[in-house]
Amino acid sequence: MIIKVCGMREAENIRQVEKTGLDWMGFIFYPRSARFVGSVPACLPSEVKRVGVFVDEPLSGIKKNIENFRLDKVQLHGNESPEFCRELRGIGVKIIKAFPVKDRFPVEQVLRYEGKCDYFLFDTQTPGYGGSGKKFNWSSLSEYRGETPFLLSGGISPGDAEEILAFSHPRFAGVDLNSGFEDAPAQKNISLLQTFIEKIRQK
């Protein structure tokens, strides 16, 4: 199972989090986020994949941050079109397209992106872009019958390891962890992360 820890910014915290056993580390380039990364931290991960998170950012801005942060993957949370995803994918990065989910799974919307992204990410629908700390109804994902693997996001907390291990879907690839593991925005609690990841990895 892929474990992504998102919303990183502080150099020492980045260094500590990289030792917890995660696979991907996310950096948020959305200025309105409390976890916005305005400049390159003094430390960047060397062993795990780097993911840049964007919301309706122009292609030029995304490319600049791909270069500055040496990003492996780009996660798109806005109204980016399937064609935009395909174009960005063509420059050599993996694309993760995020979709907000409330009561009903957005089948028609998601299907438009099949074959144009490497992963999907299903997050809790909020008035803004993520960060609600609340879960959506995971059972609604039974409506997803596409071929693209996906990550679960939205309100995952340290107490959810057993529920995640029990969750089953043929395209379920991993989890995205953020505010539920923080002492403050962009400051992850290493002990909570370590314990959670060990529980997930033991299966």
Total domain count for the chain? 1
Structure tokens at 132: 């609600």
* 11-33 pLDDT tens trace: 999 999 999 999 999 999 999 99
6 catalytically annotated = yes
How many other CB atoms sit within 10 Å of the CB of residue 66? Answer: 19
Q: Which domain holds residue 123?
A: 2-201
Q: What is the CATH number of the domain that holds 127?
A: 3.20.20.70
Residue 126 has pLDDT above 90, yes or no: no
- Report pLDDT for 132: 58
- Report pLDDT for 82: 98
CA distance 6 to 163: 20
Helix (H, G, I), strand (E, B) or coil at 166: helix
Q: End-to-end distance of the chain based on CA atoms, in angstroms?
A: 10
**C-alpha Rg value of the chain to the nearest Å:** 16
Helix (H, G, I), strand (E, B) or coil at 184: strand
Which of 85, 117, 123, 160 is flagged as catalytic?
A: 123
CA distance 138 to 135: 8
